[in-house]
């Protein structure tokens, strides 16, 4: 499944409810899912971690849809490598 196909799938399942909730309310759900991912990572539970990554990505996709952002286009920012130095791996000096 491509990123665009995934975004369309999530729209089909959740867009009506999530867009009615609005960006702020949907972002709160997204933030909660990021917290659940953090807990799964901390516990080292591989299955829970995988499930939470999927949930975070789904909530990110629905937020993008509400904002009329195509994730597949947005990720092109990284197509040439680091957006700042254009290298892979990044050669930027961390501050």
Position 94 scores a pLDDT of 82
3-state secondary structure of 84: coil
| pLDDT at residue 87 greater than cutoff 90 | yes
- Mean pLDDT, the chain, integer: 97
80 within 8 A of 10, measured Cβ to Cβ: no
Radius of gyration of the chain (CA): 16
**54-82 pLDDT tens trace:** 999 999 999 999 999 999 999 999 999 99
Instruction: Please tell me the distance from the alpha carbon of residue 52 to that of residue 95, in angstroms, as a whole number.
Output: 31
- pTM score of the predicted model: 0.92
For each of the domains in the chain, give its residue range(s) and CATH number, in order of start.
3-78 (1.10.287.1080)
């Amino acid at each position: 499944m491509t990123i665009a196909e995934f975004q369309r799938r999530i729209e089909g399942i959740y867009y009506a409810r999530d867009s009615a909730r609005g960006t702020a309310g949907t972002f709160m759900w997204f933030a909660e899912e990021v917290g659940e991912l953090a807990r799964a990572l901390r516990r080292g539970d591989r299955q829970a971690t995988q499930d939470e990554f999927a949930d975070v990505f789904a909530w990110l996709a629905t937020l993008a849809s509400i904002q009329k952002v195509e994730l597949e286009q947005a990720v092109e920012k990284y197509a040439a490598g680091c957006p700042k130095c254009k290298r892979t791996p990044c050669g930027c000096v961390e501050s």
